[in-house]
Amino acid sequence: MSHRCILVLCAVLSTVLDVNSQPAQYCPDRWFSHVTGGTTTCLWLSNEKVSWTSAHTWCNIMQGNLVEIDSPALNSKLAMLITGKLNGKYWIGLTDMEAETAYTWSASRRPASVHNFPPGQSIGDIHKNCVHVDEKGLWGVESCKAEFWFICQRKI
């Protein structure tokens, strides 16, 4: 096991333990809270770059999933959190792996109701099926094998 995997595994185990020990209304340590319409979503930004599939797996291990951005407010919150942490690209849970250009969220299987692809962004490349968000809140499509940081969510 590589040094990077050990660091990620330690962070994940620590987070899982925190998740299990927190009262239901609070986000675990190292998770950020986002409240919309009375629903609290806990957000966790990784410190390691991994493929989209690995990010999906890590979020599941932490009892969550890759973030589903369902409002401009959440997209703005993520941009703010990214700017305060490690600028760059972060995987989110949106993909068109099942049907080209039919983007759905990996956990809920719902189509995206909002998006923030910049004007002119090509979203129909058969070799690019996974979506990331950056510090400006802009979305992009890349190969799922590319390695970026990632954002997990848990609704409480």
Decide if pLDDT at 6 tops 60: no
Best CA proximity match to 7, nearest among 40, 43, 38, 48: 48
Token pair belonging to 35: 């409240």
- Tens digit of each residue's pLDDT (9 = 90 or more) over 87-133: 799 999 999 999 988 999 999 999 998 899 999 887 888 899 999 99
- Tens digit of each residue's pLDDT (9 = 90 or more) over 38-63: 889 999 999 999 999 999 999 999 99
Is 67:104 a contact under the CB 8 Å cutoff?
no
- Banded pLDDT at 2 (limits 50, 70, 90): low
Instruction: Say how many residues make up the chain.
Output: 156
pLDDT greater at residue 21 or residue 93: 93
| CATH superfamily name and code, 3-155 | Mannose-Binding Protein A, subunit A (3.10.100.10)
Cβ burial 119-155 (10 Å sphere, 16+ → b, else e): eeeebeeeebbbbbbbbebebbbbebeebbbbbbbbe
Best CA proximity match to 42, nearest among 30, 52, 56: 30
Question: What percentage of the chain exceeds 90 in pLDDT?
Answer: 66
Q: Is 94 exposed, middle or buried (0-12, 13-18, 19+ CB in 10 A)?
A: buried
pLDDT at 154: 94
| DSSP state at residue 90 | E
pLDDT at 25: 66
Single-letter amino acid, residue 102: A
Say if strands 139-142 and 149-155 run parallel, antiparallel, or are unpaired: unpaired
CA distance 16 to 10: 10
